[in-house]
Structure 1
Amino acid sequence: MDTITIKAEGISVSVDLAVGHLADMVIDRDGRQLKPLHRAPWVGEPRATLPQDLPEGTVHLSGDFLCAPFSRSDVEAAPLHGWPANSAWDVVDSKATVDGWRAVFRLQRKVMGASVDKILTLRDDHPFLYQEHVFTGGSGAISVAHHPMTSMKDGGRLAFSPKRFAETPADPLEPDPSRGRFRLAYPARSADLAHFPAKDGGTMDLADYRMDQKREDFITLVEADHGGPGWTALARHAEADLVLVLKNPAELPITMLWVSNGGRDYAPWNGRHIGVLGIEDGRTAVGHAASIGDNWLKREGVATAFALGEGRDVSFRHVIGAVPLSGGEPPRELTMADGRMRLAAGGSKWEVAFDSDFLRIGRPVAG
Structure 2
Amino acid sequence: MKGGDDYRGLGWALGALTVQRLGAMLAPVTFILQDGRQVSPMHIAPWSNEPDTEALPGILRKLRGEWPCVPFGYSAPTDGWPGTWAGVMGPPAPDEEVHGHSSNHDWTWCESENGSLSLALNYPQASPVARVERTIMPEPSAPAIDIEFRIVVRRACRLPIGLHPVFRLPFETGAATLELGRFDEGRTYPHDVEPGAELFARGKSFTDLTSVPARAGGTADASRLPLTADTEELLQIEGLDGTAALANHAEGYRVKLSWQKAHFPSLLLWYSNRGRKAAPWNGRHVAIGIEPICSPFGLGPATALADNPIAQSGIATALEFSPESPFVTRYRIEASAL
What band does the TM-score fall into relative to the shorter chain? 0.7 to 0.9
Q: Partners in 2 of 1:193 and 1:123 — Cα distance? A: 31
Q: Contact (CA 8 Å) 1:36, 1:321: kept in 2 or not?
A: no
Normalising by the residue count of structure 1, what TM-score does the alignment of the two structures yield? 0.80
Structure 1 residue 103 corresponds to structure 2 residue 117: yes
Structure 1 residue 12 corresponds to structure 2 residue 11: no
Q: Which blocks of at least 5 consecutive residues in structure 2 are unaligned?
A: 76-91
CA, structure 1 residues 108+160, in 2 after alignment: closer, same or farther (shift >3 Å)?
same
* RMSD between aligned residues: 1.8
2:323 is aligned to: 310
1:278 is aligned to: 289
2:100 is aligned to: 82
Cα shift at 1:76? 7.0
Deviations along 1:220-247, whole A, 9 cap, x unmatched? 00125xxxx4111111122221111111
- What one-letter code is carried by the residue in structure 1 that aligns with 2:134? K
Q: Which blocks of at least 5 consecutive residues in structure 1 are unaligned?
A: 326-367
Q: Partners in 2 of 1:198 and 1:39 — Cα distance? A: 29
Q: Contact (CA 8 Å) 2:147, 2:330: kept in 1 or not?
A: yes
2:191 is aligned to: 171
Q: Partners in 2 of 1:51 and 1:117 — Cα distance? A: 25
Residue correspondence of structure 1 range 127-276 to structure 2 within 5 A: 127-139=143-155, 140-152=157-169, 153-154=171-172, 155-175=175-195, 177=196, 181-224=197-240, 229-274=241-286, 276=287
Q: Partners in 1 of 2:159 and 2:95 — Cα distance? A: 13
SS across alignment from 1:57: helix
Q: Contact (CA 8 Å) 1:165, 1:193: kept in 2 or not?
A: no
Normalising by the residue count of structure 2, what TM-score does the alignment of the two structures yield? 0.86
Q: Contact (CA 8 Å) 2:189, 2:233: kept in 1 or not?
A: no
SS across alignment from 2:303: helix
- Residue identity (%): 28
Cα shift at 1:146? 0.9
SS across alignment from 2:209: coil
Deviations along 1:163-198, whole A, 9 cap, x unmatched? 1111122212111x3xxx121111211123322100
Residue correspondence of structure 1 range 54-69 to structure 2 within 5 A: 54-69=56-71
Cα shift at 1:283? 1.1
Equivalent of 1:45, from 47, 50, 56? 50
Q: 108-117 or 315-324: which moved more?
A: 108-117
Equivalent of 1:94, from 112, 117, 120? 112
SS across alignment from 2:184: strand
